[in-house]
Structure 1
Amino acid sequence: MKKQLLLFLSIITFACSENDEPQVQSSGNVFIINEGSFGASNASIDIYNTTDTTYQLAAYKNTNGDFIGDVIQDVEIDNNIAYAVLNGSNRVVSFSLADLKTIDALQASVIDKPRYMTIDGNKAYLTVWGPYGENYSLTDSKIVVIDLTTFEIESTIATEPGVEQILEHSGKLYVSRNYYGAYNNLTIIDIASETILADLRIATGPDEIFVDNQNRVWVACSSGALVEIDTNTDNVSQTINLNGEILSDVEFFEGKVYYYQGNAVKAVDLNSPKDETIIDNVELGLPYAFSINPDNGDIYLGDGVAYGSEGEFIHYTSDGEFVAVFTSGILPTQFIFR
């Protein structure tokens, strides 16, 4: 419940966030991951066919007879198997991308408020907030290591509070720590020894982590900063300021970072940071998701509209031409291209 916790903190009801986008080469279908309302167990998955622009609402429910669970925080892909992190249900559910049928579910006491996952070979690394302390502080955050061959928990790695987005790269885990403004950190972990190498204080709102075409690791911050991490020294290499807050879903595509800022879709070249506007005047009621189709550069946006209501899924061409809009499930938070 990436964004719902903001509402929760004001009404003492917990919510979740989004992830950002597991992607594979597109061949026509886009899977729309709808977070759902916290406590309602109505997280859903829709399918959009880009060939004939048809939209299947609640496709996962139609296949399995019920919703997938309570608040999809993140979905990661391993070949043709998807792993859905369910923040409200405190479990991970695997299902087939070929037919959306449920395969298995993993639930354990240590999986308490799970957030995001990254996959490396036959292992998955899952960030977990852990139990609340006084005034909803976090007391026992960690990374849960899952053996995907057995779908069982192998070990845990203790961390500082509020672990969020996670990326595996060259034998290390890069983990943002935010917890809605309580922390502005990036934790770097050595996978082999399962030890913390560094916990860097960076720009405000660290969130999504990505690797560019020069094998550089970057952290996108909601404050509008793109922070490069030196993977040799585990320090900040540079910070690019995008001059204003952004939706921290960003996409690296053909040498540029694409992002949503101030009712516009923009792009910036990391090697000569000058931004350009791709689409102007994109009015969203509740900006919730942004992604680029890795196959053709088409642009997709998720509008939450309002908490608890159905959202909207919006498709533009790579040149910014409007294609289609559809009513989605509640809080469209992530897109998977297949």
Structure 2
Amino acid sequence: MKTKITYLLIFTAAALASSCRKDKPDEPKEAPKVTKGLFILNEGGFNASNSSIDYFDYATQKNNKNVYAAANGATKWDVGNDIQTYGSKVYAVINNSNLLIIANATTLKSAGGVTISQPRNIAFYNGKALITSSDDHVYVVDTATIKIESTIKVGRDPEHLVVVGDKLYVANSGGFDYPHYDNTVSVVDLKTFTELKKIKVDVNLSDIVADKYGDVYVTSRGDYGAIKPNLYAIDTKTDIIKKNFNIPAGMIAVHGDNLYIINTDYSLLPPYSQVTTYKTVDVNTETLKDNFITDGSDKDFISPYGIAADPVSGDIFIADATDYSGAGKVYCFGGDGKRKYSFETGVAPAHFAFFSN
């Protein structure tokens, strides 16, 4: 689930749509054998229990819907919030169901799960899964025993997190305390699993990624009024902010020297507005580049809701939640910014994980 106020902005429209119909996940067929492709976690509707996992096969160019249910039986997941692969497993964070779901990435058969209060996002370090929770902690789960080993106190309502070397960087939002947001990134020593410090950045932090040069990039969603969204770079050698880009940034993904940015600027003040932009930052020179979509395909998007870059090919995937009630879409773009293909998904696609067997 996106930052809480963002979700409220779409809730009215989504509620109107879902009052007419509450789409269930597609009836599962036989689970495919996963070889090389892309997992999509469809967030589903709030309290609709229709979150699901799709698998897009690169070789067949087919999107297989609701594959976890095909392998294990029907699910009632409420609000899928993150998905990642680690080793031979795929991990799905289901926020409103208070679950971390684990499955064999090739067969999709269940490999267990863990109950975590309001889990948000996940990262990995030396056999440990690290999961942020809205209870202001990071949970440490052993991936071998699938048990919670410890928790780490961080900032308020932590969101995304990223590992750089032996340190963990956590974006704290304070989203449940609107309008009194948090404004810090927690730095955690992964050798001791303790918080080292907090870096003051900006209000309502959300996405955070690391580049190959040792910097992390973190987005501030602002306060949906006077304080606008922004992007910052932090030098992980010094843990000091090295650049304030002064550009609106919401969802981000990095590949090579390119940081891809999608920002939808919502205003809670009259006149109400919603404006989406697509930008690129060169992380080597730290300069802003042009729109990364070069063929005008961005005009086809209805509700951009997620972005990821294939770590091998560099292809860019953008999720479109459309009306947040019916089927969504995913668009794939090459490094030249031209659309290669698109496909239909479950309800509100938002999160991606790449896998190659």
Q: Into which bin does the TM-score normalised by the smaller protein fall?
A: 0.7 to 0.9
Query: Secondary structure of the equivalent of 1:274?
Result: strand
CA gap 1:10/1:291 in 2 versus in 1, 3 angstroms: closer
CA gap 1:52/1:145 in 2 versus in 1, 3 angstroms: closer
Query: How far off is 1:333 after superposition?
Result: 0.8
Residues of 2 paired with 1:322 and 1:260: CA distance? 16
Who is 1:254 aligned against?
256
Who is 2:218 aligned against?
219
Q: 1:266 aligns with which of 262, 268, 279?
A: 279
Question: Which amino acid is 2:235 matched to?
Answer: D
Query: Secondary structure of the equivalent of 1:314?
Result: strand
Residues of 1 paired with 2:255 and 2:193: CA distance? 31
1:191 paired with 2:208, answer no
2:260 and 2:280 in contact (8 A); partners too = yes
Identity %: 27
CA gap 1:81/1:53 in 2 versus in 1, 3 angstroms: same
1:129 paired with 2:134, answer yes
2:95 and 2:120 in contact (8 A); partners too = yes
Task: List per-residue Cα deviations over 1:59-81 (Å, max 9, x = no partner).
Answer: 22222221362221112221111
Superposition RMSD in Å: 2.6
Query: How far off is 1:8 after superposition?
Result: 4.8
1:55 and 1:326 in contact (8 A); partners too = yes
Q: 1:164 aligns with which of 155, 159, 167?
A: 159
1:83 paired with 2:91, answer yes
Q: 1:30 aligns with which of 35, 38, 46?
A: 38
CA gap 1:327/1:241 in 2 versus in 1, 3 angstroms: same
Who is 1:2 aligned against?
2
Residues of 2 paired with 1:331 and 1:29: CA distance? 20
2:131 and 2:139 in contact (8 A); partners too = yes
CA gap 1:207/1:7 in 2 versus in 1, 3 angstroms: closer
* Deviates further, 218-227 or 253-262: 218-227
Question: Which amino acid is 1:246 matched to?
Answer: A
1:289 paired with 2:289, answer no
TM-score normalized by structure 1? 0.83
Task: List per-residue Cα deviations over 1:237-284 (Å, max 9, x = no partner).
Answer: 222233xx3332x22222121222465543221214031223154032
* Deviates further, 288-297 or 190-199: 190-199
Query: Mind listing any 5+ residue stretches in structure 2 that lack a counterpart?
Result: 16-33, 222-227, 264-274
1:232 paired with 2:237, answer yes
Residues of 1 paired with 2:167 and 2:200: CA distance? 18
1:118 paired with 2:92, answer no
1:104 paired with 2:148, answer no
Query: Mind listing any 5+ residue stretches in structure 1 that lack a counterpart?
Result: 16-25, 131-140
1:311 paired with 2:339, answer no
1:276 paired with 2:290, answer yes
TM-score normalized by structure 2? 0.78
Query: How far off is 1:44 after superposition?
Result: 0.8
Residues of 1 paired with 2:330 and 2:75: CA distance? 19
2:183 and 2:205 in contact (8 A); partners too = yes
1:198 and 1:234 in contact (8 A); partners too = no
CA gap 1:321/1:160 in 2 versus in 1, 3 angstroms: closer
Task: List per-residue Cα deviations over 1:39-65 (Å, max 9, x = no partner).
Answer: 222211112223332221222222222
Question: Which amino acid is 1:172 matched to?
Answer: K
Residues of 2 paired with 1:28 and 1:151: CA distance? 25
CA gap 1:266/1:51 in 2 versus in 1, 3 angstroms: farther
2:123 and 2:130 in contact (8 A); partners too = yes
Residues of 2 paired with 1:10 and 1:288: CA distance? 11
CA gap 1:171/1:65 in 2 versus in 1, 3 angstroms: same
CA gap 1:10/1:150 in 2 versus in 1, 3 angstroms: same
CA gap 1:121/1:286 in 2 versus in 1, 3 angstroms: same
* Deviates further, 219-228 or 31-40: 219-228
CA gap 1:264/1:324 in 2 versus in 1, 3 angstroms: farther
1:247 and 1:287 in contact (8 A); partners too = no
Query: Secondary structure of the equivalent of 1:279?
Result: coil
Residues of 1 paired with 2:139 and 2:315: CA distance? 35
CA gap 1:279/1:10 in 2 versus in 1, 3 angstroms: closer
Question: Which amino acid is 1:337 matched to?
Answer: F
CA gap 1:6/1:276 in 2 versus in 1, 3 angstroms: closer
Query: Secondary structure of the equivalent of 2:245?
Result: strand
CA gap 1:51/1:178 in 2 versus in 1, 3 angstroms: same
CA gap 1:212/1:125 in 2 versus in 1, 3 angstroms: same
Residues of 1 paired with 2:8 and 2:79: CA distance? 14
Question: Which amino acid is 1:163 matched to?
Answer: P
Task: List per-residue Cα deviations over 1:99-131 (Å, max 9, x = no partner).
Answer: 211110112xxx21111121111212211112x
